[in-house]
Structure 1
Amino acid sequence: MTKTLSWHASRAWQTNAALLLIGAGMLALARQLVSENDHFTIGHSGVSGYSVVLYIAAIVIILMSEVDRFTFPIILAVAVACRLVTLYDDPAMSSDVYRYAWDGVVQHAHINPYRYVPGDKALAFLCAPNQDLFDNMNRRDYAHTIYPPAAQFLFYLITFISPTMTFMKTAMVLFEGLTLWALMALLREMGVRREQTLIYAWCPILVWEIGDSGHLDAVAMAFIALALLFRYRRKPVLTGLFLGLAVMTKMYPLVLMPALMMKKDSKSQRRDAGHPIFGWDWTMPATVFGLIVAGYAAYSSVGKLVFGFLGGYVEEEGMQSGARYFLLQLTQEVPGLHRLPASFFMGFCVVVFGALTVWALKVARDSDGSAFLGPAFALAFALMLLFSPHYPWYIVWLVPLLALVPSLTVLTYVSAFFYLYTTELAEPGPKMFLANKYLYAMVLGAAIIEAVMRKWPVHRHYLIQADPARETL
């Protein structure tokens, strides 16, 4: 039975009315994004700022108010509408989607996509029929493709239907639908109402980075969500399959593996008691690594080129020198630590992930149900904080986890990152360093507030979780 304070009590129709108003505002802002791509009105920072305010308001409402059978259709309709508005517009913030389609076109010409850079004379015959793709690609004259084998196979399938930027974006949005379905299924099995998927469906960074820019991270999110769902259902082969596909799409989901480990069944566990290695079900990691090997083997005709522009990208982004790691740069501002080497920071990262891995394995060993989501979220968030990415599409994979495990700290990180990236502080160098100072200060403040709220959970009196059985259409 739900308990609420009298002043806080609300009816479902009031929730729906509020969401309709907020949804109309978010749809107008999605349309404004398309308009801003052509001419300045309130600027991208204005659009992102107002979008974040409405998004947070919607989250507060959905977590604190009653819902009925009309609430989820409203959430879904607004989410779809916002993406449709941006779908047919040229991407404003990134041109990566053109490279996706180009890689598919190259494969249809029976050429390994890792073999040549787009500007190579060997691919000149593909330029004329695909001029729009070629003209809008970045790094076309010097960078081999960086995208892993699962992504390449997907590009091949999508361009088999239509080798265009618009259809590639459409496919990415459809993968978002798969993510939403997996989140709904997992929430239902956890006993949480499906309307909490609003945290994912209405997130403005997804409207921009998937709907408008068509980033491949939509595919990685879908595979991650499916891996989480099947981990909850204790299906090691399917968990490994989808985690492996996620890794072979965007690599970084590999960090989730410790959290998705499973114990052997109780009978086997008793037999292997006292053996820390043999007490685990190794089917999932074996499936992941088997898929990785098979994926790269399929494109291995080019030798080391199968790893594409990865090495060049690591150097270009300052990952080897340490120039891109905000926490290292911040530490180097401390008197006496100006020459702190990047190797020290890497060692610190190893310690952090080592500790998180031990915790994740302990939770996997001692707990059941959805307990693994906490360590999974922590591993993903730690990677982003330590890696300090320069581009917002790198952090979108946190949003599905946020929908499953709402966190003020991560909500602050995602929202503030999204907004700051649309301001003049997004320029690499001193401006971005200042932006990161603001970002990490806000995240620290949010973490402190969240810790206090966990210690004195007065706010829980205002949160509502309805019986999922009441929410069927």
Structure 2
Amino acid sequence: MNRSLLLAGGALAALAAVLLRMAAGPPGLGWTLAAWALFAAALWLVRKVPERRLGTLVVAGGIVLAATGLAAPPSSSTDSFRYAWDGRVQAAGISPYDFPPADPALERLRDDWLFPAACGAPALWSLPGGGCTRINRPAEPTIYPPVAQGYFLLVHWLSPEGSRHKALQVGGWAMAVLTLAALCRFAGARRAAYWAWCPAVPIEAVNNAHVDMLGVLLVVAAFAAVRAGRARGALLGAAVAAKLLPATALPGALSGVLAHGVAWRRVLVTVVPAVLVAALSYVPYVLASGAAVVGYLPGYIAEERYDGAGHGNRYGVLRLLLPDSWAPYAAIALLGLVVLLVLRHGDADRPWQGALLVSGSLLLLFTPGYSWYALLVVALTALDGRVEWLGVALAAAVAYTAGPAAPGSLGTPFYAAAALAVLIGWAVRRSHAVEVRP
């Protein structure tokens, strides 16, 4: 066997051991950096290995690494507890948007897993009037959109009695492997390794079972499994209705529509199915809950300091360059410019390239402190091959494990370094394109 493959296999074995330790969590900054260093080492070791010899290592490594997330309960996020609760509430015939978990009207649905009798653990949330729960923000209604809610209900129906968090983790693992299969078939083993071996996948998609994985799978299916047209638009609409962040992939699907006037047919066959699928997914919940289907979204925007009332740990890179009060407006303006560039100059034959530019730029401009938001960037990087964008996912991981991504914390310099890496990558590729131009 090729020596590089053996060394890469050793790096992946070490990565698996680190991931198992992280799953037992919560993962600290040292373990996070170690995992990413081993990931980078494995990619470096196979850089000259012929692609035809990489397939087995990429697929087997991806399956095994993703499975490390199944080894323990969620290590650093309580979001999946809300997913399980939303599924249970819907199975009882109640809209998850109507009542928060703390509402006495849902008391009959509580059990000792999500509402333990002993309230001494620090990860538990207090209930108004006494008691505690594993569900975060128990006094607030759900924030998750309807396709996500359908997934939560499906997992609840399929879950054996007493499976608790495990069914959602298995669902995350299955979706991660399906995404890997699609990437291998469409982008090849070398690029698929960016997804298969990335530490964010076993930790966030599987161990913490974030529903972002559903949105990622739908986006990858939209770009890799179908051609431009109604099917792609429908899949992107479903992705947006699973987690709003995949809306950043829509400009990519419309790459170049402004190049020679507006390509109205492509706009219509993409946007109309996307809007219809997203809108139709809301219909049963709107009929049941009315305007309450917005859930906790307005409260979340205010809580995360995206509402202009204060900046908190957001806009970290821009705040290094601009006055704090300018940062939100600069972020919106720059993101709008990126979208316009994709619509005007994007490559219609490589729509994932524009989607990566928009989704990655969003994270660099707004510097969220949640590492699972970067799962979409990792998948799009695998589709496109511009490895420098993986720095955005690393920055998000550091921001989450080290603390808020604000000036003075490690999150901000890592996001700044990721932005610099992206700019350098762009400059190098542009220079190379000029040199080879006849």
- The TM-score, its normalising length taken from structure 2, stands at 0.85
Larger CA Rg, structure 1 vs 2? 1
Among 212, 219, 225, which residue is 2:220 paired with?
225
1:356 and 1:177, CA in 2 relative to 1: closer, same or farther beyond 3 A? same
1:143 and 1:330, CA in 2 relative to 1: closer, same or farther beyond 3 A? same
Q: State whether residues 210 and 372 of structure 2, in contact with CA within 8 Å, keep that contact through their aligned partners in structure 1.
A: yes
Among 99, 111, 132, which residue is 1:116 paired with?
99
Q: State whether residues 317 and 416 of structure 2, in contact with CA within 8 Å, keep that contact through their aligned partners in structure 1.
A: no
- CA distance in 1 between counterparts of 2:372 and 2:40 reads 19
- Matched residue, 2:233: 240
Higher relative contact order (CA 8 A, sep 6+): 1
Question: How much does 1:68 deviate?
Answer: 4.1
Q: CA RMSD in A?
A: 3.0
- CA distance in 2 between counterparts of 1:129 and 1:413 reads 39
- Matched residue, 2:242: 249
Q: State whether residues 225 and 400 of structure 1, in contact with CA within 8 Å, keep that contact through their aligned partners in structure 2.
A: yes
Question: How much does 1:256 deviate?
Answer: 1.9
For residues 359-384 of structure 1, the C-alpha deviation after alignment (integer angstroms, 9 at most, x for no partner) is: 222345xx5532x2322211111111
Q: State whether residues 24 and 72 of structure 2, in contact with CA within 8 Å, keep that contact through their aligned partners in structure 1.
A: no
- CA distance in 1 between counterparts of 2:192 and 2:209 reads 21
Q: Is 1:411 aligned to 2:385, yes or no?
A: no
Q: Is 1:60 aligned to 2:57, yes or no?
A: no
- Matched residue, 2:34: 50
Among 353, 370, 378, which residue is 2:335 paired with?
353
Q: State whether residues 212 and 375 of structure 2, in contact with CA within 8 Å, keep that contact through their aligned partners in structure 1.
A: yes
Query: Equivalent residues in 2 for 1:394-409 (5 A)?
Result: 394-409=373-388
Q: State whether residues 75 and 198 of structure 1, in contact with CA within 8 Å, keep that contact through their aligned partners in structure 2.
A: yes
- Matched residue, 2:311: 323
Q: Percent of counterpart pairs with the same letter?
A: 24
- CA distance in 1 between counterparts of 2:148 and 2:111 reads 25
Range with bigger deviation, 25-34 or 438-447: 438-447
- Matched residue, 1:94: 77
User: Which residue identity is paired with 1:259?
Assistant: G
Q: State whether residues 83 and 211 of structure 1, in contact with CA within 8 Å, keep that contact through their aligned partners in structure 2.
A: yes
- CA distance in 2 between counterparts of 1:30 and 1:346 reads 36
- Matched residue, 1:15: 4
Runs of 4+ in 1 over 6 A off after TM superposition: none
Q: State whether residues 326 and 436 of structure 1, in contact with CA within 8 Å, keep that contact through their aligned partners in structure 2.
A: no
1:361 and 1:452, CA in 2 relative to 1: closer, same or farther beyond 3 A? closer
Question: How much does 1:280 deviate?
Answer: 3.5
Question: How much does 1:275 deviate?
Answer: 6.0
- CA distance in 2 between counterparts of 1:49 and 1:178 reads 27
Give unpaired runs (5+ residues) of structure 2: 117-131
Q: State whether residues 262 and 281 of structure 1, in contact with CA within 8 Å, keep that contact through their aligned partners in structure 2.
A: no
- CA distance in 1 between counterparts of 2:386 and 2:412 reads 21
Q: State whether residues 39 and 197 of structure 2, in contact with CA within 8 Å, keep that contact through their aligned partners in structure 1.
A: yes
1:444 and 1:389, CA in 2 relative to 1: closer, same or farther beyond 3 A? closer
Question: How much does 1:413 deviate?
Answer: 2.4
- Matched residue, 1:136: 134
**Residue correspondences, number:** 414
- CA distance in 1 between counterparts of 2:364 and 2:192 reads 24
Q: State whether residues 115 and 134 of structure 2, in contact with CA within 8 Å, keep that contact through their aligned partners in structure 1.
A: yes
Question: How much does 1:63 deviate?
Answer: 3.0
Q: Is 1:441 aligned to 2:416, yes or no?
A: yes
Query: Equivalent residues in 2 for 1:205-216 (5 A)?
Result: 205-216=200-211
User: Which residue identity is paired with 2:207?
Assistant: D
- Matched residue, 1:369: 349
1:329 and 1:322, CA in 2 relative to 1: closer, same or farther beyond 3 A? farther
Question: How much does 1:67 deviate?
Answer: 4.4
Q: State whether residues 324 and 388 of structure 1, in contact with CA within 8 Å, keep that contact through their aligned partners in structure 2.
A: no
For residues 52-72 of structure 1, the C-alpha deviation after alignment (integer angstroms, 9 at most, x for no partner) is: 111011122333322444x32
- CA distance in 1 between counterparts of 2:423 and 2:251 reads 27
Question: How much does 1:129 deviate?
Answer: 6.9
For residues 337-392 of structure 1, the C-alpha deviation after alignment (integer angstroms, 9 at most, x for no partner) is: 46x3xxx544434432332233222345xx5532x232221111111112211111
Give unpaired runs (5+ residues) of structure 1: 1-11, 38-42, 188-192, 265-272, 461-473
1:68 and 1:93, CA in 2 relative to 1: closer, same or farther beyond 3 A? same
- The TM-score, its normalising length taken from structure 1, stands at 0.79
For residues 207-259 of structure 1, the C-alpha deviation after alignment (integer angstroms, 9 at most, x for no partner) is: 2112221111111110110111256x22x111011101110011111122122
- CA distance in 1 between counterparts of 2:225 and 2:345 reads 17
Question: How much does 1:453 deviate?
Answer: 3.3
DSSP-derived class of the 2:47 partner = helix
- CA distance in 1 between counterparts of 2:339 and 2:399 reads 31
1:130 and 1:25, CA in 2 relative to 1: closer, same or farther beyond 3 A? closer
Question: How much does 1:429 deviate?
Answer: 8.0
- CA distance in 1 between counterparts of 2:115 and 2:314 reads 37
